[in-house]
Chains A and B, each alone.
Chain A
Amino acid sequence: MSAQPPTIERQSLRAASRRWLKNLLLFLVLGNCGASAAARFWLVYQFHRQGVANGDKVKLAATTRRYAAVKNALPPYTVVGYLTDRPYVRYSRSVDEDPINVSELQDIQLVIAPLLLARNEDQQYLLGDFMNPIEGQKQIKQRNLSVITDYGQGVLLLRSGQ
């Protein structure tokens, strides 16, 4: 027994359903694209508005105001250590440690480039970054450092006494 060839009606029905499926998939792809782009825009817009409301619209603006003057104080590529009374962590391979402080150090590095920021206190030159001036003076005396420039707001360029 040979199989009956599909009738013309059945063929056209099959073609129509295939066309319907293709169009459905086309609109699913387009709808997914539109919804995703709109969701992203909405999120970005909310962050933007939040930034404007908090007064920190442009990232790095505050860091630039605080540290930018340091960048021209020494020749390019001079390694500058970091001395602070703020709690911070060294670069870590673990997710357990607080990444915000690392991010702050990255911000400072970007602003003072082309100087290189070392995350230790063993360099000839040091960037002093103090929240508490009394604590800052104590650390400077303890380490026998001299102040090259005081940039205000607790930011100092220091030189090792040795």
Chain B
Amino acid sequence: MMRFALLLIPIVWALLIGQMLFPFVHVPGARIWQLSFLAPLAVGTSSLAYFVSFAFTDFSYKSILLVDTALTLLIVLLWLLTRQRERIVSHTAAFVLRWPDRVAYLSAAVVFLLATSSTFLLSTDNPMGFADAYAIWNLRALLLAVDGPLGGNINHLDLFRNPWVWHGDYPLALPAATAHFWRLLGFQWPEIPASIAAAFLYSTAGVLFSLFRLLGNVRTSILASTLVLASPLAVYVSASQCADVPLGFFVVATFGCLVLSANSALQTRALMTSGICAGAAAWLKNEGSVFCAVVAGLVLVAFTAQERSAVRALRRMLPFAVGLAPFLAVLVYFKFFLAPPNDLLRYGGFRAADFFSLERHATVLKTFGGTLLNAGSFVLSGPILWFLYTFAHRAVNNDVRSSMGTVLIGATAICVMGYYMIFLSSPWELNYHLATASKRLVLHWWPAFVLIMGLLTTNWITRAERIQ
């Protein structure tokens, strides 16, 4: 029982960090916004703490508790120092629910129940997930969850360079967090990775719901969150415990925080949170590193264009960089000192001829087109229906063409193009690579697509400024 109580440590970290980052209260949607970040923040911080124990201590249980205690003290100290004196209070007018909204709420509740039942059944039948989850993510968690100190001639730091560890260069956010929870518990409880996976699915829906609720758009908030929970592919991949749904969360949370940064009172904290989310994405998956670099670059360009001075732009970027820094530091250490070269480079690298092969372009385009149009694997095309809905409900003078809107659309377009180029030059057999990866990869961008299209329906800069 005592060991179960130790699981509260990362949750307390997440609660305190959440309170520091999101000080608003009494704003409709604020509580759900805070709650949506609870599990991801707990996973992010506990993976960082565990990696520090792995890389810089003898990896014994005592060392892990020591690092956890030090981090707890640091977070409590920061919380005491930054405790918000003036709390942000809403001036948003009360919203009257019309009958279509009531129907939407009812449908969302039914979808929520169905998604929860599917997730529960899939998780109980496959306690350690399936596909990449047990071949890569949970396997690495098991490898990281060994009791130290190992002693003898075993150097645990050589683990990832061992050729029999698949994809040794993949970052460690999920495995390290899972292993941390297991070490705190004292046994490898399969419900831990299953709970983390489910938490990310609901957090993604929660972020979309609460963001649009914060922006005062109730109907879009219901639909956007429902579109995530109702997606058969999202539910399936989430229960498989692969890292794709968590990456989708960090992408959409980064974007959501950038949207909230339009509010002058929230700007610093929102930018810091978007830095944390972008950093966590990089620490989660290699695709997340690409996303992190693209979004950081685009935000810098947007700030430079607004400020007309690189120095002032860099100063505005500071909160983003502060949020990013811890994740970037461990990622750089892992990649340069512990991990082997990336698989794609190891297995033949990029061949220039592949970029000019019309046959490969046609194959990738065909699969990509089909996958994008059928993103989420709905009965009818989810993206097309959502596009039509948001276009019909588009707000007059919506702010999608603003500089931050351009950042969101630009980052999505560049990253999707990046995926296209990776497939084009894949050293693996192309059809095999596309068949095993393309559907899952679209899930990284499905919540972001729902968010960007949903923003069409609201004057979000004006609405975000109103949260004060």
List which B363-383 residues lie within 8 A (CB) of chain A.
Answer: 376-380, 382
Q: Is the interface of A mostly helix, strand, loop or mixed?
A: helix
From A1-9, A42-50, A128-136, A147-155, the one touching the partner chain is: A42-50
Cα distance A42–B5 when bound, in Å? 37
* Chain B residue contacts of A28, Cβ below 8 A: 380, 385, 388-389
CB of A109 within 8 Å of the partner chain: yes
With CB as the reference atom, state the residue of chain B lying closest to A51.
B125
With CB as the reference atom, state the residue of chain A lying closest to B140.
A113
B4 to chain A, nearest CB (A): 22
With CB as the reference atom, state the residue of chain B lying closest to A48.
B121
List which A68-118 residues lie within 8 A (CB) of chain B.
Answer: 75-77, 79, 93-95, 106-107, 109-110, 113-114, 116-118
* Chain A residue contacts of B389, Cβ below 8 A: 25-26, 28-29
CB of A15 within 8 Å of the partner chain: no
Cα distance A79–B236 when bound, in Å? 33
* Contact between B139 and A76, CB atoms less than 8 A apart: no
* Chain A residue contacts of B386, Cβ below 8 A: 29
* Chain B residue contacts of A45, Cβ below 8 A: 117, 121
CB of B463 within 8 Å of the partner chain: no
Cα distance A48–B120 when bound, in Å? 11
* Contact between B126 and A36, CB atoms less than 8 A apart: no
* Contact between B219 and A26, CB atoms less than 8 A apart: yes
A90 to chain B, nearest CB (A): 12
CB of A57 within 8 Å of the partner chain: yes
* Contact between B164 and A79, CB atoms less than 8 A apart: yes
With CB as the reference atom, state the residue of chain A lying closest to B393.
A22
With CB as the reference atom, state the residue of chain B lying closest to A21.
B392
Cα distance A79–B158 when bound, in Å? 13
* Contact between A40 and B235, CB atoms less than 8 A apart: yes
* Contact between A37 and B230, CB atoms less than 8 A apart: yes
CB of B337 within 8 Å of the partner chain: no
* Contact between A57 and B379, CB atoms less than 8 A apart: no
* Chain A residue contacts of B435, Cβ below 8 A: 95
With CB as the reference atom, state the residue of chain A lying closest to B433.
A93
List which B108-124 residues lie within 8 A (CB) of chain A.
Answer: 110-111, 114-115, 117-118, 121-122, 124
A112 to chain B, nearest CB (A): 9
> B382 is contacted by which of A27, A32, A77 (Cβ under 8 Å)?
A32
* Chain B residue contacts of A43, Cβ below 8 A: 232
Contact with B along A9-47 (1 / 0, CB 8 A): 000000000100111011111101111111111011101
* Contact between B125 and A58, CB atoms less than 8 A apart: yes
Given A32-B380, A76-B150, A22 and B392 contact (CB-CB distance below 8 Å): yes
* Contact between A30 and B226, CB atoms less than 8 A apart: yes
> B378 is contacted by which of A22, A36, A51 (Cβ under 8 Å)?
A36
Given A23-B100, A59-B130, A95 and B431 contact (CB-CB distance below 8 Å): yes
> A77 is contacted by which of B114, B162, B378, B380 (Cβ under 8 Å)?
B162
Cα distance A44–B115 when bound, in Å? 10
With CB as the reference atom, state the residue of chain A lying closest to B122.
A44
* Contact between B159 and A26, CB atoms less than 8 A apart: no
With CB as the reference atom, state the residue of chain B lying closest to A23.
B100
> A95 is contacted by which of B103, B235, B432 (Cβ under 8 Å)?
B432
Given A29-B386, A29-B389, A44-B118, A37 and B138 contact (CB-CB distance below 8 Å): no
Can you report 30 residue pairs joining A to B where beta carbons are below 8 Å apart?
A: A25-B388, A25-B393, A26-B100, A26-B104, A28-B385, A30-B226, A32-B379, A33-B227, A33-B230, A33-B378, A36-B376, A39-B379, A40-B236, A41-B117, A44-B118, A45-B117, A58-B126, A60-B134, A75-B150, A76-B143, A77-B154, A77-B156, A77-B158, A77-B162, A93-B432, A106-B134, A106-B135, A113-B142, A116-B162, A117-B164
For the A-B complex with A37-B118, A77-B158, A110-B142 known, give 6 more contacts whose Cβ atoms are closer than 8 Å: A59-B125, A75-B150, A77-B154, A77-B159, A95-B431, A107-B134
| 5 closest residue pairs by CB, A with B | A33-B230, A40-B232, A113-B142, A37-B114, A116-B164
Residues of chain A whose beta carbon lies under 8 Å from any beta carbon of chain B: 18, 21-23, 25-30, 32-41, 43-45, 47-48, 51, 57-60, 75-77, 79, 93-95, 106-107, 109-110, 113-114, 116-118
